[in-house]
Structure 1
Amino acid sequence: MRYLHSGVTVRDLERSKRFYGDLLGLKEVDRPDLGFPGAWYAIGDTQLHLMVPAPDRPAGDADPQFTGRVRHIALGALGWDTLVARLRTEGVPVRDSAPSPGGPRRVFAKDPDGNVVELVDAD
């Protein structure tokens, strides 16, 4: 068995594409027509799928405490310091988190729809 992809719901596809493509630097890949808007991004051998739900359905994680432990995606980021600084400069909510014992540095950020993205220092 191997891990294939994660999917998150987003409300504004273009805004989310700027976040995941432009800010995080993920590469968008071809996506078949599934009958609803979305975008797919390559992350190593896996993918991230963005899906736009119908207007009456929720998008993102509305948890005001921003814990992100249960529902989140985790990305190993090269150039971690530069990336975290860029996110903060762009006004992206970023919460510092203590690394696991002996583990790398990490932060939790929120995409424009409130989905939590854990960024782990992969340098």
Structure 2
Amino acid sequence: MGSVLNHVSVVAHDLETSRRFYVDELGLVPLPTPNFAFPVVWLAAGNCQIHLFERPGEPPSHAHFGLEISEFMPVYRRMKELGLLDHDTFGNAMYELPDGGIQMYVRDPAGNLVELDHPDASSIPQGEVPEYMRLADLRPQEGSARSATLWHVQ
């Protein structure tokens, strides 16, 4: 018996601001949402969903979810323009992974950490991305770590 990820819920301090971020900047698609006792928006993220809940409270510092992006540079430029790159939580805003993919960390309008993943770091003009760093240059990637990938196919 296996489980498949269905959705991730995140706090939104201003539901409309968070909705615009995920829809306008990251391309998620609004979905019909049940009427709860508090403001909620459901968004499609591929075969999964992101649920935005307008609630008080601070987001966790390191817990995050990852969204795959099809084009890296336009999203990178926009996140940088908006000042949303997170340089501190994991020591850098992005890392090339052992499989040649890249992960970029940003904070949404409520401060939630979001990892934006792109499968082909070789398509990124490193000279235009000062935050670019290879994980293997910081930590040895030995044994099974060399074959680690975010793009697991079942």
TM-score by length of 2: 0.68
Pairing of 1:1-123 with structure 2 (within 5 A): 1-53=3-55, 57-61=56-60, 63=61, 68=62, 71-95=63-87, 96-122=93-119
Runs (4+) of structure 1 exceeding 3 A deviation are none
CA separation of 1:114/1:48 partners in 2, compared to 1, >3 Å: closer, same or farther? same
Ranked by relative contact order (alpha carbons within 8 Å, sequence separation 6 or more), the top structure is: 1
Q: Percent identity?
A: 32
User: Whose helix proportion is higher, 1 or 2?
Assistant: 2
Which segments of 5 or more consecutive residues in structure 1 lack a partner in the other structure? none
TM-score using structure 1 length? 0.83
Root mean square deviation of aligned Cα: 1.5
**Aligned residues of 1:10 and 1:60 also touching (Cα < 8 A):** no
Structure 1 85/120 Cα, relative in aligned 2: closer, same or farther at 3 Å?
Answer: same
- The alpha carbon displacement at 1:88 in A equals 1.1
State the AA in 2 paired with 1:41: L
Letter in structure 1 aligned against 2:64: H
**Contact 2:97-2:103 at 8 Å conserved across structures:** no
In proportion to residue count, which structure has more strand? 1
The number of residues matched between the two structures is: 113
2:96 aligns to what SS in structure 1? coil
